[in-house]
Structure 1
């Protein structure tokens, strides 16, 4: 059979489109009150109207719950002054001839937030919403706008707390997110793409979601409720109008601006509550605890040698002196397979669990020792947030070191951050700069601040640091 000419195909398509449009128009233009349906009957198969009741019961609606909850969801606007780098500004002649050319610009962004304490004006939002902002303002559902005060934030869990001096606020009660189950109905409220007070609904797709690169410590609620740019910091609520999570991210291989594809993530309220308590108690920062071990993955060969049933768990490769692990009786060669009943499949899973716990948190460790199950009880001790170079080695005098952000670690970077270097110091004269990442050294292997400090128990004769500076790497001889 010969193919139809292009013109004939276009004519047929246009005719079908017109027919379909007329049919749809007639369908949607039927009036809802044209034929009332008795409460005790079911709808005809092709009816386009909805009954007021079904078997004597009114149709369910989210409207009453949303009427209570939506005043507690706010719009968060930030401004950041950024210096414009232009080589012409270094020329005095250019500056004199063009004095009005701006040498800085203002970056603006919009996000969402949730009022969690009406009396004190506390608002939960994401760290990335207010990060590096010079000015933060909050607009309420009733149109009032207030300048917000920064209380504190934690980049590694993406939780931030701000406060506004406002009265007659509405807060959302916090639910126990630990009671969530896959399949529970949820509603997301926020300001996607700058649109105010937008509501989407869905179900809980997964709980305890982790292993996502670049998102810090993870224990996410996954939902198919639409979460798009601008939803960050908004509310994820249950059908009782209780807060179960803070919307934080949308997974999309095409990028966030491509829209939602049903893979949204929210920070559970139990985690957010713990972070907020620490922010309020510790002057706006989170102090994390540590067990004091180094761990590595278990492969098939190790599993056989350690008499394990399967190649999973976190193998303890080092136990630090005077640590919580030492107090608990943990030994090198032990394999952590679960904590408080939560399965631990690898070193990353253990690291993620540890990072989500507060100082003093007690838990039960289930380990395998020589293939046999052993249960230990441990309590995390504080870990230092920074180290002074001179306390490690005199050749590092003038430098300060800090932990890498968890986002960097999730992206595959390990080591420690050079947080500051004093000008003219011994470390500066050797070429060390603030912002460098120390990834290796002649003193031994390390992955974080604790193991970095442990490598200096026996000072090396020659101290060489391998550093990463931006996209470039190299070795520095510290003299």
Structure 2
């Protein structure tokens, strides 16, 4: 016997099925809307890339790779019976004892091969033809060629460089009709933002990859407090170095510098790349154009971490900061009122997390920059602004000046300083003449210039028959001839000439 259902039951059943069908239709509609959103113009990078791609360049560097070592004036012939009577040959297996060979037969040699390396760069000033790239892309360069996306090639000269910041500024020679990129404020960059890396990985010109900002303020080199990298998973490989990292508006937020790869140094991208923030690039460029080099700021304090437990015992409403251990006499810190015992808790309203954070911040500030500190002193909070002084560069590595002076260290000749060092009137007459020049401070192992006759305390007063009074003259004269260098040297009040 069939069961009869009431009208009320059928109404409820029909409404139930209608609700299920409606929900399925809504799900399908949502799916198609989502698909449509991914096809929207917001994620179409083509218009942005067409606009900024002419500002991206390839940087081809030609340089000499040196080989230092010893060679011998003659070769031993193991088949010669006379060799068995030679005291420098072992009784076993006719092994030649190199240490026992007469030093007369041992000579120092240097050789070099012409090499090339390729990186990327970006034009930041089209009117003045300025290009930013990495220092490691153009280091020790004899010749730099910049190639635009349209195939044009220009010779470039180095305007300024910094090994620690891994940045270099180039200027294109006789260039025209250039396009530059807009520089964004990297402080506005957030983790999770989309970003685009552009460059020439493995010489694949004009390559583009997209990713996100994975992390900020990364320090990847131990004890290099210039590190303040943007980490990204946008594909960066060998050849991308010096190229731009941009936001979706096509604005520069960083310069691609390095990657974290596998055990092999030549491994490819694994999704961890690092870019120098655009604010660091802007500060570097400003210093180069204003001073010709990095005029680093100097605060003049020594400091250490202040532990959170100590903060609690002093009832300070902060759990992180740094304690000033000492203040250098005559420094900017002393002049503007910082004192030993002060606890620095924030810089420009940004909490000072630890001493590493402050070191990073100090490394990115230059002479005459103003730093605004909030500090805790005698149970009171104070706000103090400090205008930084400048650091004087004391030593110069020869390899940065000329490849034939590698493994040598120089400084500007200071007669008074050398007098105090020698502290002997007789030596003062011999070693402290009233001249201007560059003094040789020391040599590292396998220094070619030392093997050719330069000695510590030699005063270089001329290069290639041009007088040198400062490091600028020295570097400029060395650049006039890359392969042939004549040094005019004063030693014990006598003049010597050396060819290297």
Deviation at 1:391, TM superposition (A): 3.1
Taking structure 2 as the reference length, the TM-score comes to 0.63
Partner of 2:50: 67
Deviation at 1:194, TM superposition (A): 2.1
Kept in 1, the 8 Å contact 2:218–2:231? The answer is yes
Separation in structure 2 between the aligned mates of residue 289 and residue 215 of structure 1, nearest angstrom: 16
1:369 paired with 2:369, answer no
Separation in structure 1 between the aligned mates of residue 201 and residue 215 of structure 2, nearest angstrom: 22
Separation in structure 2 between the aligned mates of residue 59 and residue 366 of structure 1, nearest angstrom: 42
Q: Would the alpha carbon gap of residues 75 and 213 (structure 1) be closer, same or farther in structure 2, given more than 3 Å must change?
A: same
Partner of 1:436: none
CA RMSD, aligned part only?
A: 3.6
Deviation at 1:227, TM superposition (A): 1.4
Q: Would the alpha carbon gap of residues 149 and 277 (structure 1) be closer, same or farther in structure 2, given more than 3 Å must change?
A: same
Query: Max radius of gyration: which structure?
Result: 2
Residue 182 of structure 2 aligns to a residue in which SS? coil
Partner of 2:170: 162
Separation in structure 1 between the aligned mates of residue 170 and residue 231 of structure 2, nearest angstrom: 25
Kept in 2, the 8 Å contact 1:74–1:141? The answer is yes
1:257 paired with 2:275, answer no
Residue 67 of structure 1 aligns to a residue in which SS? helix
Residue 183 of structure 2 aligns to a residue in which SS? coil
Separation in structure 1 between the aligned mates of residue 312 and residue 262 of structure 2, nearest angstrom: 38
After superposition, what is the alpha-carbon deviation per residue over 1:91-126, rounded to whole angstroms, capped at 9, x for unaligned?
2899xxxxxx99321232111000112222111101
Q: Would the alpha carbon gap of residues 42 and 378 (structure 1) be closer, same or farther in structure 2, given more than 3 Å must change?
A: closer
Separation in structure 2 between the aligned mates of residue 306 and residue 393 of structure 1, nearest angstrom: 50
Deviation at 1:56, TM superposition (A): 10
Residue 385 of structure 1 aligns to a residue in which SS? coil
Q: Would the alpha carbon gap of residues 240 and 371 (structure 1) be closer, same or farther in structure 2, given more than 3 Å must change?
A: same
Separation in structure 1 between the aligned mates of residue 116 and residue 338 of structure 2, nearest angstrom: 50
Unaligned segments of structure 2, at least 5 residues: 1-27, 77-108, 396-413, 424-430, 432-438, 443-453, 459-500
Q: Would the alpha carbon gap of residues 291 and 43 (structure 1) be closer, same or farther in structure 2, given more than 3 Å must change?
A: closer
Separation in structure 1 between the aligned mates of residue 196 and residue 357 of structure 2, nearest angstrom: 29
Deviation at 1:197, TM superposition (A): 1.2
Separation in structure 1 between the aligned mates of residue 213 and residue 326 of structure 2, nearest angstrom: 39
Partner of 2:455: 423
Q: Would the alpha carbon gap of residues 67 and 56 (structure 1) be closer, same or farther in structure 2, given more than 3 Å must change?
A: closer
Partner of 1:135: 143
Q: Would the alpha carbon gap of residues 369 and 117 (structure 1) be closer, same or farther in structure 2, given more than 3 Å must change?
A: same
Kept in 1, the 8 Å contact 2:59–2:119? The answer is yes
Matches within 5 A, 1:18-417: 60-88=43-71, 91=73, 103-165=111-173, 166-210=175-219, 212-213=221-222, 216-252=225-261, 254=263, 256-283=265-292, 285-299=293-307, 312-386=320-394, 391=417, 394-395=420-421
Separation in structure 1 between the aligned mates of residue 205 and residue 223 of structure 2, nearest angstrom: 28
Kept in 2, the 8 Å contact 1:298–1:315? The answer is yes
Between 295-304 and 331-340, the greater mean CA deviation after superposition: 295-304
Q: Would the alpha carbon gap of residues 282 and 133 (structure 1) be closer, same or farther in structure 2, given more than 3 Å must change?
A: same
Residue 340 of structure 2 aligns to a residue in which SS? coil
Separation in structure 1 between the aligned mates of residue 441 and residue 75 of structure 2, nearest angstrom: 42
Separation in structure 2 between the aligned mates of residue 74 and residue 351 of structure 1, nearest angstrom: 33
Kept in 1, the 8 Å contact 2:219–2:225? The answer is no
After superposition, what is the alpha-carbon deviation per residue over 1:360-412, rounded to whole angstroms, capped at 9, x for unaligned?
1112111222454322111111122227595398236887889xxxxxxxxxx
After superposition, what is the alpha-carbon deviation per residue over 1:275-300, rounded to whole angstroms, capped at 9, x for unaligned?
111111212x1101111111123346
